[in-house]
Amino acid sequence: MERIANLSLSVCVAGIILSSCGSGSQPEAGQKAAGVSLPAEIKAMMPKGEEIFKTKCIICHQPNGTGVEFIFPPLANSDYLLADKSRAVAQTLNGSKIEMTVNGKKYTQEMTPQVNTKEDAVAVINYVLNNFGNKGGFITLEEVKSIEIKPRSETDQLR
Ligand code: HEC
């Protein structure tokens, strides 16, 4: 018995390294991702990500990430976000003022820069990726090291 448990544990550890721990693993407490275990480094930033989401993003993207059709795009099951996590981090950091199609609907409103550090942007995007029905996954600080933080203009209201 114990042997089997040990074996599945090491499979799980290998799974974490490959970032795809199998469906047999138990979701961690407080972690709503569908059976996907996250590296400790990512788990550790979740409370910060949650706090940022609840203080900064909720007003537009809504408490459950659904957004407001044609005005504020969804973060829940957003094909656009899931297609490029590092773009999502960059947009959270530097804002976005483009026409985008998210889940088949066009959005043209501007989002001003929302956070000032990559740590904050990565934390909130990891929180989003593991909540609101999103299937999990994560992005590391290492993966966004080439993103440039653009100078915040004086007109940014949401610093
Ligand atoms: C004042 C409203 C507002 C706030 C606050 C806001 N956003 Fe946005 N967000 C928008 C709008 C509008 C767009 C579309 C921008 C465009 O068309 O270029 C957008 C787009 C996005 C996108 C890309 C589109 C998508 O749905 O995947 C991401 C990712 C995103 N926001 C994340 C965040 C995060 C994370 C926060 C909080 C830290 C946040 N936003 C706060 C209005 C807002």
Query: For 35-64, what is each residue's pLDDT tens digit?
Result: 468 999 999 999 999 999 999 999 999 999
Distance 19 CA to ligand 1 centre (A): 26
Q: Is 21 in contact with 33 (CB distance < 8 Å)?
A: no
- How many whole angstroms separate alpha carbon 82 and alpha carbon 88? 9
Ligand 1: residue of 53, 84, 91 to mutate (most ligand atoms within 8 A of CB) is: 91
Each residue's pLDDT tens digit, 65-95: 999 999 999 999 999 999 999 999 999 999 9
Which residue's alpha carbon is nearest to atom 13 within ligand 1? 111
- How many whole angstroms separate alpha carbon 42 and alpha carbon 25? 17
